[in-house]
Amino acid sequence: MRFTATRTAYIKAPLRVVYSVLTGYRHFEAWVPDIVRSRLLAREGEIAIAELIVPPYGAEKLVLELVELPRSSVVFTQVDRLRRDGVFGRFDLAAADDAAGTMVTATLGMKLGLHRLVCRRRLRGILDQTLAALGDRAQRLLTSGLSDVPGQRAKILEINIAGDSVSVRMGGTTYELVPRGRGTHA
């Protein structure tokens, strides 16, 4: 028997940032509750195969097929169980009315031998935790300007050129650059 739960949340981050977090399959352990390791196994166009290590739920390893509709949705199905059971679901994204945020509707389904009410409650809890963590991760990336890829430097968010001075905004800080010989340099 299959059980599903759906939750919708407002995330105070632009759609492009939320979508970037959702499709950063190599970094799910940084924000998805209970995932201790994740890795991208393969990608071809809008289809990705990712492996997730999730010890608390009895399945040490989940292999998911993720189908992306760019900046709109990510649909996933567990494929290491011959589709007879396992997890499935989707994340649907839409720009919020205020244009500064994103509405995310998440659906999670499982085929389990648990009592229906217990299973639905657990699915809702997982979705609530996941949406909260997605919002936190998107907000951190947005306010820090940092890349979602470990080891990468902060992204340049804005460059302004006025005369011979340049200001660069990275990670929430603006740096004023002036030609050597003007201003103070160490």
HEC states along 52-93? EECHHHCCCEEEEEEEEECCCEEEEEECCCCCCCEEEEEEEE
Domain that holds residue 166: 154-186
- Within 8 A by CB and 6+ apart from 146, the residues are 140, 152, 154, 155, 171
Residue 149 placed within a domain: no
- Give the C-alpha separation, 153 to 148, whole Å: 10
For the segment 168-177, what is each residue's pLDDT rounded down to a tens digit? 666 566 666 6
- Give the C-alpha separation, 3 to 136, whole Å: 27
Last residue of a domain, one of 144, 162, 177: 144
pTM recorded for the entire structure: 0.68
Residue 23 placed within a domain: yes
Find the mean pLDDT for residues 27-33. 87
Q: Are residues 110 and 158 part of one domain?
A: no
